[in-house]
Amino acid sequence: MAIGSLSLRKSPCVREHCQACLRNEGHKSYVLYGKTGNKRFSLYVPTRLVPEVQTALRNGKRLQELISEAGVSYVNGLKQRKVEGTV
């Protein structure tokens, strides 16, 4: 599981007369952007790992959704117990 966003970026290189850069194609690479505490990070992701990282991001998003749903159910349960006089 992972939290963050995966982006495909295009950037120039440092080589003189690079044909891809001269054609304005640049060099494509994937980057995982995220946050740890209050600190932001970016992490290069090799193309061969992109499908696995995408799956991890989907799983992380689903886990966040489940945690949110669990929180709502928990608070509703607490409120119901209060109404019934058991809390």
The tens digit of pLDDT for each residue in 2-17 reads: 999 999 998 888 888 8
- Its domain, for residue 63, covers 5-84
Backbone dihedral angles phi then psi of residue 25, each to the nearest 5 degrees: -85, -35
Q: Confidence class of residue 87 from pLDDT cuts 50, 70 and 90?
A: low
d(CA 32, CA 48): 14
Read off the pTM.
Answer: 0.76
Number of Cβ within a 10 Å radius of residue 41: 11
What is the count of structural domains for the chain?
1
Neighbours of 56 (CB within 10 A): 17
